[in-house]
Structure 1
Amino acid sequence: MDFGLNDEQRLFRQTLREFVDREIVPVARDWEREGRYPTEIVAGMRELGLFGLVIPEEYGGLGADNVSFALTFEEISRGWMGIAGILGSHSVSSWMLAHHGTEEQKQKYLPELATGARRTGIALTEPGAGTDLQGITTVAKRDGDDYVVNGTKMWITNARYADPLPVLVKTDPAAAPAHRGMSILLVEADSAGFEVTADIGKLGYKGTESCEVVLTDVRVPASQLLGGVEGRGLQQALSALETGRINIAARSVGVAQRAYDEALRYARERTAFGGPIGEFQAIQLRLAEMAVALQSARLMTYWAASRMDEGVRMDTESGMAKIAASEAALSCAMDAMRIHGGYGYSTEFEVERLYRDAPLMSIGEGTNDVLRTVVAKSLLAGKAVIS
């Protein structure tokens, strides 16, 4: 059993680390405060080929292994978690298109998605349907060679840049169970009636937009039905979300790493009562707990990613990694703030931003409590064995 990275993965991580330290870390706090879109950082990610991470080489992508995929989100989130969101939604959608699209759809979109000339996201959730995706009300009615789409989507990352935007719809609202009537349509940004209406204000996760999208009588050619067959949309989305949970777990590791780094440095530099605060046992205990939580989360994330590379179904493993890593991000962010004391509450220090970014990971790509039930049911059914 090998817990280390191979030479190629280490080199890839080093390249990412240098990019993050050079292009993201120096500007993240100021740009977030200004509400500035990170155009230059996006350009840098394009140059590194990161928009093609999950796209096969035959379509111009990197075809990266899933451990390298996780490394990407870990390193970028160490600098600024919101930037990872730009790449995350794009990657989930690109993976879904590469695995479920028709050959015509792949040829049409994947080469430009791989270079970042096109970007994408994924429109699943609605004002009244988040965890319960079968409860969506967006409907696509067949009209000749087109579908006519009506509905509203919420919390859509990359909405202002996605072209196409995969949209989960009900092509047969009367189907029972509901998932048999759900499909995904690839909606192009210039479609009449397609409108990004509002950017949603957020506690954290700044740097990328999260938007409301309204579709009013949007005509989408039937050729834009993902995979060409109705009724497979929910399965297509859920399979892609397995990669999404890997990227959320890896983002969590990145946030936890930065929280640990900031806390360790502060414990060495900050003095009180005649010496560094790191000499106090209370501080030492928190640092040790942070280190244990961080490294445990990292190993579980790499384990889940490596299982995906083996080609097995790994919804249990990705769920476990996402739970463990997101809880580690929360605890590390809180402990870093406690170690900083009053300065941890100041916007002049990084830990304040980490504290606001961390909670999203326990919610995104399936809430932790829902994922706990998914993991438990898999264990009880004998579909996963922990040994």
Structure 2
Amino acid sequence: MNAPIANPARTNPGMDEETFEQFAEQLQRYVRERLIPAEKDVIENDRVPEDILNEMREMGLFGISVPQEYGGAGLNTRQYARVVNIMSYAAPAFRSIFSINIGMFASALKNGGTEAQRQEWYPKLIEGRIACFGLTEPGSGSDSAAMQTTAVPDPDGNGWILNGSKRYITNAPHADVALIMARTEKEALPKNAHVSAFIVPMDTPGISTGSPDKKMGQAGSHISDIMLDDVKVPGDALLGGETGQGFRFAMQSLDNGRISVGAAATAYARRALDSALRYANERKAFGEPIARFQLIQAMLADSETEIYAAECMMKDVTERVDRGENTIAKAAAFKVFASEMCGRVVDRVVQIYGGAGYLAEYDAERFYRDARIYRIYEGTTQILQLQIAKHMLREWEKVHG
């Protein structure tokens, strides 16, 4: 089968490479010198400190993927993933607070927004307004056919009235704007054409959020329900100005989200392994560091091998995106492998720590809890396995059918 042909119109050179490398080096220092020392504060108070949020805004992190012509840094996908990867070496909350902005929300504007919507919302993202992405519901996640949130024409004007609820929405408790998926038709063809997307400011009358959910890990990163009760939005809130395109925009945006999660899981696995290396060289048993024991070395080596594989996948899939290739299956594959890999690595790290790995005073226990969600959000491993297989079967049918 021939390799996919790049679409020159979609090729994204991104930021000048020398400038980007300088920025990446600065960001690595910031993560190690500023964010990692602040992790204790994040964990104890379950929030990212406001002074750090302001620093991240001043660094332009909330708008790094916004095109340069709109005032953003204009990073391409490879550079965007590198930034996410660098930031994700620290506590997950630091990535979580800006990841929706630069991933799914900015991507939806780029892929499906009108020029007026881009002119309005790109500057707000750049200045650090926080976005959230409203797809999942109490009775539906990846199954758009079960979506219950509705948007009906406002009889008093040219706008829309939204009713329904969304669940597990990252950043919802403190977001300034939401991209809400809603049913505009009972059913429609082609498949999923009954779903449309709406840009909804979170201070719109009728919107409310639940209390932040208590979670297994990822302190400082907040999720909650969003309730929509007769929420009136103007006609220009409809993403792209056209109904029936919401699910397509959402799925295109989720590619970026899945790359972000894969990059984050890869970085957190690296952080956990670095911690295990340090501990194995400091902890002694039978008169020598446990790092000298062959079975400890085997766990270290297996972890390094898997992290390296995920790093290579990240580089490959993001370069393919920037060449304009269709990467739905490869983005899913990267997210599956990286998230599952991270789970295996943090499990080994707990084992290397031994009894100390089960105690909250050591980092290994936190790494273990934090990493578990990577295999669930932005598409569970099982949903993505189905997506990858369907893509494979369609490609086989094209060749052999």
Separation in 2, partners of 1:138, 1:250: 31
Aligned residue among 110, 126, 132 for 1:114: 126
Match of 2:70 among 59, 73, 89: 59
Gap regions ≥5 residues in structure 1: none
Matching residue of 2:309: 296
**What residue number does 1:104 align with?**
116
Distance across 2 between alignment mates of 1:34 and 1:376: 43
- Farther off after superposition, 226-235 or 365-374: 365-374
1:162 to 150, 175, 186: 175
Partner residue of 2:10?
Answer: none
Q: Which amino acid is 2:294 matched to?
A: Q
Q: Which residue of 2 aligns with 1:37?
A: 48
Alpha-carbon deviations, 1:207-237, whole Å to 9, x = none? 1210111000010111110000001000000
Q: Name the structure 2 match of 1:227.
A: 240
* Counterpart selection for 2:150 from 125, 131, 139: 139
The two structures, once aligned, show a CA RMSD in angstroms of: 1.8
Paired residue for 2:287, among 270, 274, 280? 274
Which residue of structure 2 aligns with residue 94 of structure 1? Answer: 106
Residues 383 and 348 of structure 1: CA distance in aligned 2, closer, same or farther (over 3 Å): farther
**TM-score with structure 1 length normalisation?**
0.94
Matched, 1:333 2:350: no
Contact 1:29–1:350 (CA<8 Å) still a contact in 2? no
| Equivalent residues of 2:173, 2:210 under 8 A apart | no
Q: Which residue pairs with 1:265 in the alignment?
A: 278
**Contact conserved, 1:139 with 1:173, CA < 8 A, in 2?**
no
Q: Aligned partner of 2:228: which letter?
A: L
- AA aligned to 1:98 is K
Whether 1:78 aligns to 2:89 is yes
For 1:27, the aligned partner's letter is A
Q: Secondary structure at the match of 1:211?
A: strand
Q: SS of the counterpart of 1:78?
A: coil
Does the CA-based 8 Å contact 2:47-2:221 persist in structure 1? no
Q: CA deviation at 1:124?
A: 0.6
Quick one: higher RCO (CA 8 Å, sep 6+), 1 or 2? 2
Q: Equivalents in 1 of 2:394, 2:200: separation in Å?
A: 38
Query: Once the 2 structures are TM-superposed, how far is the Cα of residue 263 of structure 1 from its aligned partner?
Result: 0.5
For each residue in 1:182-206, what CA deviation from the matched residue of structure 2 results, as whole angstroms up to 9, or x when unmatched? 1011111221111112211110122
Report the counterpart of residue 181 of structure 1 in structure 2.
194
How far the C-alpha of 1:311 sits from its partner, in A, is: 1.2
Letter of the 2:383 counterpart: V
Q: Do the aligned residues in 2 keep the contact of 1:38 with 1:207 (CA within 8 Å)?
A: no
Asked if the contact 2:310/2:334 (under 8 Å) is kept, the reply is: yes
**Partners of 1:148 and 1:216 in 2: how far apart?**
9
8 A contact 1:301–1:322 mirrored in 2: no
Deviations along 1:41-61, one digit per CA (max 9) or x if unpaired, are 222221211111211011111
Whole-Å separation in 2 of the counterparts to 1:38 and 1:73? 19
Q: 1:63 to 1:340 in 2, by over 3 A?
A: same
* Cα separation, 2, equivalents of 1:28 and 1:41: 11
How far the C-alpha of 1:172 sits from its partner, in A, is 1.1
Say yes or no: does 1:311 pair with 2:324.
yes
Q: After TM superposition, give the deviation of residue 85 of structure 1 in Å.
A: 1.3
Residues 383 and 159 of structure 1, relative CA distance in 2, 3 Å threshold = farther
Deviations 1:243-277 (A, max 9, x none): 11110000001110001100111111111111100
Q: Of the candidates 322, 326, 339, which is equivalent to residue 335 of structure 2?
A: 322
Identity %: 35
SS in 2 for 1:173: coil
| Residues 47-87 of structure 1, C-alpha deviations (whole Å, 9 max, x = no match) | 21111121101111111021211111112111111221111
1:381 match: secondary structure: helix
Give distance in 2, aligned partners of 1:9 and 1:315.
26
Residue number in structure 1 paired with 2:61:
50
Partner in structure 1 of residue 80 of structure 2:
69
